[in-house]
Structure 1
Amino acid sequence: MDFFSAYSPLWLAGLVCALLLTGAVAGILAGLLGVGGGIVIVPVLYHLFTLLGIDPEVRMHVAVGTSLAAIVPTSIISARAHYKRGGLKPELLKPLIPGTLVGVLIGALLSGYLSGQVLAAIFAVIALLVALNMAVERNLSLRDGLPGTAGTGVLGVFIGSLSTLMGIGGGTLSVPILNACRTPMHIAVGTGAALGVVISLPGALAYLINGLGADNLPPATLGYVNLLGLAMIVPVTMLTAPWGARIAHAINARLLRRLFALFLALTAVRMLFGAFAL
């Protein structure tokens, strides 16, 4: 109660609106661009927690854990929508699952030892690379189809571990990788949405467990999952994720990709400077 009474009703209303808008944008982008809603949710929560004066040592962990929890329903709905439109091929998804799960385990273990500053820096650097890839829009073509069992396993570990550390869905990293294997964009996006389920469910559970007993957590937080943020974001992402999937099959999203790349780059740079200014 003391926490909420410290802010004016107008300020709290603005906070709620920011969380609702975050959910809407995250849901649409998850379906439209295959980048995973976490690439929006994490930086927004991180900056909101900064404004609220949350302890720097836990603010990034809570942002990541809350994002992973929010991605669970979004990924399920988005993957289902893509599957209905022929954008999800189980034969492409299945070989990636074992390595991805190993990667999630590695990322979850590392997150328990890394400081909030390091987590923020990792997110910022990878987000900058993602923004550059989206802005350039030159798909690197390496081969036809996924590599052998060992190579696919390594790709899964890479996708799962970094996605868990960053609090993002699988699409952010898997879509450009699948494109490099000459996978059509709509198939890559659908597969990325499905990988989001594989990553977010165990990842969110790991952050919840890792954060039990942590000090200086925000109010209404279970482990490293903020229940207030989750309650504001999830319903909106569930509503808007199918919209993004429909739009992805109907329009050329080139301009939107570039605008989002600019937003992501600016956000990442701000997070990087903020992390090292702590």
Structure 2
Amino acid sequence: MNIELLLLMLVLGSFVGVMAGLLGIGGGLIVVPALLFLLPQAGIEPAISMNIALATSLSTIIVTSGSSALNHLKLGNVDMFVIKWLMPGVVVGGFVGANIAEWIPTEYLPKVFGVIVLFLALQMLLSIKNANERSMPSSAKMVGYGTGIGVISSLAGIGGGSLSVPFLNRHGVEMRKAVGSSSVCGCVIAISGMLGFILHGYSAENLPAYSVGYVYLPALAAIASTSMLTTRIGAKMATTLPTAALKKIFALFLMFVAGTMLL
């Protein structure tokens, strides 16, 4: 880790914080592709760079989503029913996803990530024109959906906002509250997923210095230190922007990330 890489990660963290507050994402959609580019420059072997990117991304999300959640709570943008019934599922799903990622060949993980994100982008674009809303599922189904969101999010190294925000908005939750509630769930998913990657990473070979399992501490410290300061900017923007504009920003952002990972 040299000065140039450190500065890039500090800038990355600042951008991630704004986007986390604005869109309810944990930042993994930005952090994972960025780390895949930056980690080899820090001397980390390509064979383990994807797992390190996923694990480190999840660890930064704990700080970023936690900070974003606190800001949204202050602004009244959190739906407590959603938190109550999604939370148990995302805890279990986050841990399961980290275990699944260990068995998927490294070269396929970016493609899996890209396909998931592209699907979500198309779903969000369609929801702008289709105003039909579904009723909120029963509490038991909410736990099941939460488990699915946790598995996919942990597998992709994200906090789940790209999954939970479209899901909640589709089921009648106002966009601003979907974003705020997603921030709370994203923090929990990240904790569960990170623990799974730490446990599996202890037996991995050729890990860089200053690693805890697959979590690379220098990258975590640099990204988290600035992201937690800028989430309030994004949270205030989410409160003032129209719902349609938020959806368009979200969808275009997802398409950009998906294209980057697939190509």
Specify whether residues 253 and 48 from structure 1 end up closer, same or farther in structure 2 by C-alpha distance, changes over 3 A only: farther
Query: Over residues 174-219 of structure 1, what are the superposed CA-to-partner deviations in whole Å (9 max), with x where a residue is unaligned?
Result: 0000011011011101110000121011211211111013112234
Query: Over residues 39-85 of structure 1, what are the superposed CA-to-partner deviations in whole Å (9 max), with x where a residue is unaligned?
Result: 11111001212445633331111001001100112111111111111
Q: Which of 122, 134, 156 is the aligned partner of 1:132?
A: 122
- Displacement of 1:165: 0.7
Deviates more, 1:249-258 or 1:192-201: 249-258
Correspondence 1:185 to 2:175: yes
Q: Which of 135, 141, 148 is the aligned partner of 1:158?
A: 148
Q: Which of 121, 126, 144 is the aligned partner of 2:135?
A: 144
Counterpart Cα distance in 1 of 2:79 and 2:253: 31
- Displacement of 1:137: 5.3
Once the two structures are superposed, the pairs formed by residues 1-278 of structure 1 within 5 Å of their partners are 12-52=2-42, 54-135=44-125, 138=128, 141-145=132-136, 147-252=137-242, 258=248, 261-262=251-252, 264-273=254-263
- Displacement of 1:129: 2.2
Q: Is the 8 A contact 2:23 2:250 kept in 1?
A: no
- Displacement of 1:100: 1.4
- Displacement of 1:272: 2.6
Counterpart Cα distance in 2 of 1:70 and 1:264: 19
Query: Over residues 234-267 of structure 1, what are the superposed CA-to-partner deviations in whole Å (9 max), with x where a residue is unaligned?
Result: 0101101111111111234866865665554344
Counterpart Cα distance in 2 of 1:53 and 1:259: 35
- Displacement of 1:27: 0.7
Specify whether residues 160 and 43 from structure 1 end up closer, same or farther in structure 2 by C-alpha distance, changes over 3 A only: same
Q: Is the 8 A contact 1:30 1:36 kept in 2?
A: yes
Q: Is the 8 A contact 2:32 2:53 kept in 1?
A: yes
Q: Is the 8 A contact 1:104 1:160 kept in 2?
A: yes
Specify whether residues 72 and 158 from structure 1 end up closer, same or farther in structure 2 by C-alpha distance, changes over 3 A only: same
Counterpart Cα distance in 1 of 2:50 and 2:244: 31
Name the larger-Rg structure. Answer: 1
Percentage identity across aligned positions? 40
- Displacement of 1:25: 1.1
Query: Over residues 93-118 of structure 1, what are the superposed CA-to-partner deviations in whole Å (9 max), with x where a residue is unaligned?
Result: 10111121221122122122222222
Residue 166 of structure 2 aligns to which amino acid in structure 1? Answer: P
Residue 46 of structure 1 aligns to which amino acid in structure 2? Answer: L
- Displacement of 1:142: 4.4
Counterpart Cα distance in 2 of 1:231 and 1:15: 13
Specify whether residues 172 and 213 from structure 1 end up closer, same or farther in structure 2 by C-alpha distance, changes over 3 A only: same
Unaligned 5+ segments in structure 1 are 5-11, 274-278
Residue 40 of structure 1 aligns to which amino acid in structure 2? Answer: I
Q: Is the 8 A contact 2:9 2:223 kept in 1?
A: yes
Specify whether residues 47 and 30 from structure 1 end up closer, same or farther in structure 2 by C-alpha distance, changes over 3 A only: same
Specify whether residues 46 and 141 from structure 1 end up closer, same or farther in structure 2 by C-alpha distance, changes over 3 A only: farther
Q: Is the 8 A contact 2:98 2:154 kept in 1?
A: yes
TM-score scaled by length of structure 2: 0.90
TM-score scaled by length of structure 1: 0.85
Size of the aligned set, in residue pairs, is 262
Q: Is the 8 A contact 2:13 2:227 kept in 1?
A: yes
Q: Is the 8 A contact 1:46 1:59 kept in 2?
A: yes
